[in-house]
Structure 1
Amino acid sequence: MNTSLPPAEELALVDRELARLDAHRAQLLLRRDWLVRVLDAQRAAPVPPVPPVPPALPAAAAPRPWPAPEATPRSTQNVLLTLGGMLLTVAALVFTLVSWGTMGIGGRSAVLAVVTSAALFAPVVLLRRGLVSTAESVAVLGLVLTVLDAYALHRVALPETGGLGYTAAASAILAGAWAAYGSALSRLRTPLPAAVVAAQLPLTLGVLAADGALTAFAWAALGTAALDVAAVVWVKALPVRVTAGVGAAGLGGWALLAGLGLSLTSPLEALPLLLACAAVLLFLAVRHAPSALASAVVAGLAGIAAAGGLLRAGVPEAWIVPAYALCALVLAGATAWHRGPWAGPRTEPVKLPGLRDGLAWAGAGVLGLATLWALPPAVFGLLDPRVRSTEIWSGAHPERTLTDYPATASLVLLMVTAALVVVPRLWTRGAALVLGWALLVGLPVAFGLSYGASLAVLLGATAAALVVAVRPAPVARGLDGSAEVLAWLGFGCGLASGLAAVAPALDSRAATFAVLGVLAALFGAVALLGGGVRRTVAACAGVLAVAGLVGAGAAAGGLSEPVTGLLLLVVPAGTAGLGAWLRRRPESVAVEATGAAVGLFGLGLTLDRPALLALALALGGVVAAATAVRPERRPVASWVAAVLFLLATWVRLTVWEVTTPEAYTLPVTVPALVVGVLRRRRDPEASSWTAYGPGLAATLVPSLFAAWADPHGTRPLLLGLGSLAVTLLGARFRLQAPLLLGGSVLALVGLHELAPYVVQAVGALPRWLPPALAGLLLLAVGATYEQRLRDARRLRERLGRMR
């Protein structure tokens, strides 16, 4: 609204108006409450006088609204009824246990009969009046009283009866009575679940009362669980189904565990029990879809345990795991091949994938556990031994860590591999590939093969895996777009087993050459026939195998480590030639880099022999220079060649005990200046600092330091002449780098030559003369300061126009 009042006054007006409205609302609420009470009391009493209307309350005294209720009427009712039922139950217990002995037999019977009958009959009347919650509470009291009646009957009339037997019979009678009572009063929710709870006791307690064995108790538990399953399937009431499901899970699970335990000690006794458990679970899976998968999995495990227990009793210990694996394979295979419908007795034929999948998962789970049991030979075949305990080429073989492992582990891997191959899935083919390779790798450990046979098996596993890496199509038959995955799995397995064959091959000279030669051939074939990144990795692995052959050949010839390092330069030379043949293929870079790494390792072996190190560096420079002929390698290879040649020169000079610094710096300066001249010809705009600065500094700076420490005059004279020539060339061609570097060095050399005379002259002069000369110099500089600034500016501009 629009007013002409100031904001503060308008706010006060609004607050007063709101307070007035609240007061008026409070008056109306009071009037409404009176009218409601009048209407409720019209039939019971005369109309009360009309109360006076209270005056309007001021704004400050306006009534506050009542807080909202924190509990609903229904929840309040439930709490009251629950408390009432609990108190009555406690009272009945106290009466039965404490006050029972103070009454005669007639009185006791009359009290129990009257109270129990009243508690059970009262819900009928209450339900007719619509008081469902009250009827539920009274019905619970009646059920508790029936339990007390049974207890009282045992204490008074049947004291000689055994407690377990009487409890079993009483629980059966109570379960039937409560079920009939709950069925008659279907609106009550408690009696039927209570009947289910009571029905869990008769069979199990009866077996205990008869001193039955563990097997009998397990059968009793299973029978009770079967009744619970029937209730879950056929009863519609949710509370009953939930209660029965809990009972079935508890007692049925106990019966299953008992059967599994018996299958390890008494398989014939456990067989019918486990099969019965499986039958109950399969019935539940067929008729109750939500639990089909879980029920089928447990049923499959029970069936495998039953059949495997029989086989376990008739086979040696080493064949126990294969026996269970065979049972699991049969189950998984049968469910995998079956694709027909499952039909219920009252329904149309429908497919139950949960049942089929559950049985398949049960078989697969057991096969997975058997596979884990069978893998240690393969693991130790790859990793044992990796730390040598004998000398290389000694002919002695370290003992294996894993011994006396059952050879049947290979049979388990074979069965699982065969099962996975027939399933047209990517993951099954990949797992079959890896397990088949693991089978081959583990054969030497599982069967304790000889040294030569073990190496042959490892190389065979490597070859088979690399064949898959090159030609994965047969393994990927029936799968779309999955060959490349499978190819990588085969390549990884081949790399692992190939590397595993190298370590034991070092026990024998002949084995070393044989294994490295086979690996070089295999990885070379993959590099030629494979594709993508696998070709590159295989080529690098082949280069390393060739390098190993070169090193082994040098060791076999009795050559020293420095000479062996010199021979290893054959590898980078070969990879450089191979890179030239491959030209711009992606794998050429990796191959040449691997060869360079081998060459660097060879250089490291020659460090103890400086003469051979110089030769090796020179040979490496030749290889790099030859590589620099190729346009795509020139930027890197040319610098590598220059560095290697320079290092070779320096090492050779060190061997010759040359200490003159110019002998080390001139081999750097001359090529650097040549490169600078070529650079300036190709790019006239290039700076002289970039073209000539590094080369000139490489010689002038070390020579300057040497000249300052040289007591003779030959080096300063030659350095002065050289720096003078560089300065004049810089001035002639207007180049900054030669002019400034040459001039600076020339000035420092001159200062070095004049320094002794200056010191001598200063020592002969009076002590007052140097301060006086310094003062005259400052006066002269100050008088011509402006002119000196203009001269310095002109010199800077001239230098700035130079390159």
Structure 2
Amino acid sequence: MTPFFDPSRCPSCSAQLPPNPVRCPSCGVDLTGPTVTELVSTLRRADALVTRMRADVDVAAVPQLRAAVGQQPDASVGPPAVRLPIGLPDVSPARSWFAGRSVGVILLVLGALCVLAAGAVFIAVAWMQLTLVVRGLILIVITAGFGLSAQLALRRGLQATAEVMAVIASGMFVLDVAAARRAGLPGLADLSTAPYEIVAGVLLAAAAGGAAFTVRRQRHWLWTLDGAVAFGMARAAVGTLRLSSHDYALSSVTLVVVTSLLYVAFVRIRFPIAMWSALGVVCGAWMIAVAVGAGDAANHVGGDLGRVAASWPALTAALVAGLWSTLLTPLAPRRIASWMCLSPVLLVFEIVGWSHGWVVGCFVMLVGYVVAALASDRVGGTWASAVAGSALVLGLSAVFGLLPTAVELATRMGLALDGAWRAPRGLPFDLVPGDVGPWLLPLTALVVLAVLPQIRIDGERFSLDQRVIAGVFLATLGVLPMLYGAGFWLSMLALVMVAAVLLGAARLWRNDHLLLLAWAPLVIIRLCSYYIDPVHDDLADPLAWTLFAAVCLAWALSERRRMVRAGFLVAAGLFALAGVAQWLDFAQAPRSIHGFVIVASGSLGMVASQSLVRTAINVETSTRAVGEGLSVTWVLVGLAMAGSSTSHRALELTVAGVAAGITAYLSEDRRRVGWVSGVLLTFASWIRLADNNVEAVEWYTLPAAAALLVYGVRRLRRDSGESSWRCLAPGMALALVPSLTVAMDEPTTWRGLIVGLASVALVAVGVWFRFAAPFALGVVATALLALRNIWPVAAFVPRWSLLFVIGGVLLWAGMTWESRVNDVRTASRYVRGLR
């Protein structure tokens, strides 16, 4: 088989080659360089792989040959010699394209930088020492030499070299023009900075463009020449901007027109870099023209026609963009051009409209919004999205025009919070009363929301419920009396009526958006209700809380969704709590009974929750839990409001304890609340006894404890399965705990001795009858008394004894642990031995 690599043949045309060839005599290809090296490595690698494949086939055939020889018993010859795999020459792996060419590219770039730096230094240092003729010859020779070098490199297929030579030639051309100006060349020396930039940019673009056309005729392309054209165009554009003497107005418009034409030209002659650069220059010049036109219109002093005339740069840029929207073929660029056409017009319209003040400007924006919205439904194709977007912008501007009205409303609410109900003397943000138009609030809300569904973008319309539109309009009408300076109660009455209508509509149509709208006037009422009327005192505050509680309760009773109903019930309970507190203040009730009223109300709510479950059929568990949670909240708040009066605190604890006991009696699943009842009643008794300075507490606790014990023993005898904690613990705790508390202060008195004996007796009863309650209570009481008696002498106990006790306990725990571990291991061995 013929090998892949044959050094005597040309890899391109397979012609016979002479020894040590540099080029093929037949086809003329270059046989040196990184490309040929990579090709030779690849071909040698292919030959090595083929050799290994053949060796693998020969090795696989050896067992078959040995088997054939074993079947011939008379064979006197051994097996044929097997050809072993030959040693292959070490071939270096083929390098990638980047590895083969990156070094050359880097060297070319460094060389180009060095040459350009040398040219710049030469022009700056030695240029003035030469005559004009010599300078011109140097310029022509160097620039032309690098240009010819680029052409020769292209002919030999050296693309990277040609690109670098083109960069050097373009850079030298720029340096040549600068040197010619410094040398006083006629036509360049007399130019100022801006005209010189234009001339230099045009010359560079023309020279690079001509060279690019020459290269293209040879079926090659140099990207650096395309970039040089783009650079020259950008340089000329910067110079054009510097020519303007009036805020870049004329120069920016000129750039928009000229670079637009250049963009078309570059598209037709297929200069991609120059094309995109021209597009970028067009966009930059367009933004400058729009900014200049808008600034002139805003700063113009005079009528509206004068403002429009002063904005001619922006309008001209819009006209050019409009022409492009009709000339371009792709849809996306046409839409962008339509946006660029309408944006300056919209900006000028905004400037002219807002120049007449907030009220007129808001009305003008509203009219423009209606026109643009209706036009978006009529215009199709390219301009549809731009017109619809303009309508949205005008609608937002109209809403922004309501800022003075919103500021005055917020200011009036702030004055109400401070206790005054009057018109504000001044508005923030340098606003004056003439900037406020309350009538614009409902008008703008109605028009913007009603016309919004008429806007169409790409065939799609905005969808908005008409009932929501009517609700927003009604909500804005509710604040008009307040904005026009009506009295406090008249303003609040209007807001209440609006909220009632919105709540009724929300319930009738089951619309949550209307429910949210209804809360807007309610929130305003709540904020303004801090206002103190000189006749009715602070009646507004409790009325507001009552209104909130009534609204939440009414909505909760008519709501079917479980979580929403629970949320409104919680809100109603909390608002009612605040309302009760405010009504007590309004009635000038003594502060000492505030907590009692709230605790009593919460206790009644707890009992009512249980009664409601017993009488009603459709009451859900969540509703009951909400009622109980609110009742507990009321009780805790009432207890916190008791103040320093111990008698009132005892009374409140008694009421709460009785309510807890009734709750445990009414509901079987709330039996554990009886423990809470016992704790509350016990604390109430202690507080009452402490308040009356009673020392013999047993006269008050033992009769009740005896009654509880009699009842518990009888119940325990009737039902042997009952728990001793439920039957015996309340009576025993009532008899033991108060006396134990007093005995802790005097452990060596007769009371301490009797309590200790009673505790030991309880332990004995618990052990004998196997009751947990007396055993646990006796152990705890005995331990407390023992610790109380040990405490005075604990300071005299040596430290080593404490360490000895701790060490003994730890040793006992360790031995117990090891014993239990051994038991577990024995059990596991037994289980593993089962079959």
Match of 2:831 in 1: none
Change (3 A) 1:440 1:592: farther
Q: Alignment partner for residue 529 of structure 1, among 558, 567, 571?
A: 558
Match of 1:755 in 2: none
Paired AA for residue 137 in structure 1: V
Query: Is structure 2 residue 273 aligned with structure 1 residue 239?
Result: yes
* Distance in 1 (alpha carbons) for counterparts of 2:597 and 2:339: 65
Query: Is structure 2 residue 182 aligned with structure 1 residue 140?
Result: no
Shift in Å, 1:308: 0.8
* Distance in 2 (alpha carbons) for counterparts of 1:179 and 1:716: 115
Match of 1:756 in 2: none
Match of 1:760 in 2: none
* Distance in 2 (alpha carbons) for counterparts of 1:442 and 1:519: 18
**Superposition map of 1:202-281 within 5 A:** 202=236, 205-206=239-240, 208-209=242-243, 211-224=245-258, 226-227=260-261, 230=264, 236-266=270-300, 267-280=307-320
Match of 1:673 in 2: 709
Match of 1:593 in 2: 629
Give the match's secondary structure for 1:190: helix
Shift in Å, 1:40: 6.1
* Distance in 2 (alpha carbons) for counterparts of 1:426 and 1:284: 33
What is the root-mean-square deviation of aligned Cα atoms in Å? 5.5
Q: Alignment partner for residue 348 of structure 2, among 306, 311, 330?
A: 306
* Distance in 2 (alpha carbons) for counterparts of 1:260 and 1:578: 71
**Superposition map of 1:11-30 within 5 A:** none
CA contact (8 A) 2:202 2:233 kept: yes
Shift in Å, 1:631: 2.6
Paired AA for residue 555 in structure 1: D
**Superposition map of 1:645-724 within 5 A:** 645-663=681-699, 665-666=701-702, 669-670=705-706, 672-673=708-709, 676-677=712-713, 680=716, 684-688=720-724, 691-700=727-736, 702-703=738-739
Question: Over residues 82-128 of structure 1, what are the superposed CA-to-partner deviations in whole Å (9 max), with x where a residue is unaligned?
Answer: 44444554455456555554554545445544555555566555545
* Distance in 2 (alpha carbons) for counterparts of 1:504 and 1:234: 75
Shift in Å, 1:561: 1.1
Query: Is structure 2 residue 548 aligned with structure 1 residue 519?
Result: yes
CA contact (8 A) 2:545 2:575 kept: yes
Paired AA for residue 303 in structure 1: V
Shift in Å, 1:562: 1.7
Query: Is structure 2 residue 23 aligned with structure 1 residue 41?
Result: no
Task: Name which of structure 1's ranges 616-625 and 586-595 shifts more when overlaid on structure 2.
Answer: 616-625
Match of 2:106 in 1: 79
CA contact (8 A) 1:222 1:251 kept: yes
Give the match's secondary structure for 1:179: helix
Query: Is structure 2 residue 352 aligned with structure 1 residue 322?
Result: no
* Distance in 2 (alpha carbons) for counterparts of 1:723 and 1:129: 115
Paired AA for residue 304 in structure 1: L
Question: Over residues 351-384 of structure 1, what are the superposed CA-to-partner deviations in whole Å (9 max), with x where a residue is unaligned?
Answer: x8875776577567767877889765676677x4
CA contact (8 A) 2:471 2:514 kept: no
Shift in Å, 1:311: 1.5
* Distance in 2 (alpha carbons) for counterparts of 1:428 and 1:281: 38
Task: Name which of structure 1's ranges 704-713 and 650-659 shifts more when overlaid on structure 2.
Answer: 704-713
Change (3 A) 1:182 1:448: farther
Query: Is structure 2 residue 599 aligned with structure 1 residue 564?
Result: no
Q: TM-score, normalised by structure 2?
A: 0.64
Change (3 A) 1:409 1:565: same
Change (3 A) 1:359 1:36: same
* Distance in 2 (alpha carbons) for counterparts of 1:733 and 1:224: 111
CA contact (8 A) 2:362 2:399 kept: no
Question: Over residues 402-442 of structure 1, what are the superposed CA-to-partner deviations in whole Å (9 max), with x where a residue is unaligned?
Answer: 65575359847963675356447689999989987996798
* Distance in 2 (alpha carbons) for counterparts of 1:723 and 1:157: 125
Match of 1:759 in 2: none
* Distance in 2 (alpha carbons) for counterparts of 1:157 and 1:706: 119
Shift in Å, 1:299: 5.7
CA contact (8 A) 1:513 1:552 kept: yes
Shift in Å, 1:309: 1.1
* Distance in 2 (alpha carbons) for counterparts of 1:600 and 1:366: 52
Shift in Å, 1:598: 2.6
Question: Over residues 582-626 of structure 1, what are the superposed CA-to-partner deviations in whole Å (9 max), with x where a residue is unaligned?
Answer: 743333432343244234333444444444444444444454455
Give the match's secondary structure for 2:256: helix
Gaps of 5+ in 1: 1-27, 46-61, 343-351, 474-482, 750-803
CA contact (8 A) 2:441 2:476 kept: no
Q: TM-score, normalised by structure 1?
A: 0.66
Paired AA for residue 627 in structure 2: V
* Distance in 2 (alpha carbons) for counterparts of 1:729 and 1:84: 109
Change (3 A) 1:666 1:213: same
Give the match's secondary structure for 1:659: coil
Match of 2:571 in 1: 541
**Superposition map of 1:327-726 within 5 A:** 329=369, 333=373, 337=377, 340-342=380-382, 384=414, 406-407=435-436, 411=440, 415=444, 418-420=447-449, 422-423=452-453, 451-452=488-489, 455-456=492-493, 459=496, 463=500, 466=503, 470=507, 473=510, 486=513, 489-490=516-517, 493=520, 496-497=523-524, 499-504=526-531, 508-532=537-561, 533-569=563-599, 571-572=601-602, 575-576=605-606, 579=609, 580-581=611-612, 583=616, 584-585=619-620, 586-628=622-664, 630-631=666-667, 634-635=670-671, 638-663=674-699, 665-666=701-702, 669-670=705-706, 672-673=708-709, 676-677=712-713, 680=716, 684-688=720-724, 691-700=727-736, 702-703=738-739
Change (3 A) 1:66 1:552: closer
* Distance in 2 (alpha carbons) for counterparts of 1:198 and 1:408: 56
Shift in Å, 1:707: 7.5
Paired AA for residue 163 in structure 2: E
Shift in Å, 1:660: 1.7
Match of 1:190 in 2: 224
Gaps of 5+ in 2: 24-88, 301-306, 454-460, 786-835
* Distance in 2 (alpha carbons) for counterparts of 1:222 and 1:491: 53
* Distance in 1 (alpha carbons) for counterparts of 2:202 and 2:676: 96
CA contact (8 A) 2:421 2:531 kept: no
CA contact (8 A) 1:526 1:538 kept: yes
Paired AA for residue 529 in structure 1: S
Aligned pairs, how many? 677
Shift in Å, 1:292: 7.2
Match of 2:86 in 1: none
* Distance in 1 (alpha carbons) for counterparts of 2:741 and 2:779: 16
Shift in Å, 1:670: 4.7
Match of 2:209 in 1: 179
CA contact (8 A) 2:260 2:278 kept: no
Shift in Å, 1:662: 1.7
* Distance in 2 (alpha carbons) for counterparts of 1:664 and 1:282: 99
Match of 2:56 in 1: none
Shift in Å, 1:450: 5.1
CA contact (8 A) 1:569 1:616 kept: yes
Match of 2:41 in 1: none
Match of 2:77 in 1: none
Shift in Å, 1:305: 1.7
Give the match's secondary structure for 2:588: coil
* Distance in 1 (alpha carbons) for counterparts of 2:22 and 2:147: 36
Give the match's secondary structure for 1:41: coil
* Distance in 1 (alpha carbons) for counterparts of 2:231 and 2:779: 110
Paired AA for residue 315 in structure 2: L
Paired AA for residue 308 in structure 1: E
**Superposition map of 1:67-106 within 5 A:** 72-90=99-117, 92-93=119-120, 98-106=125-133
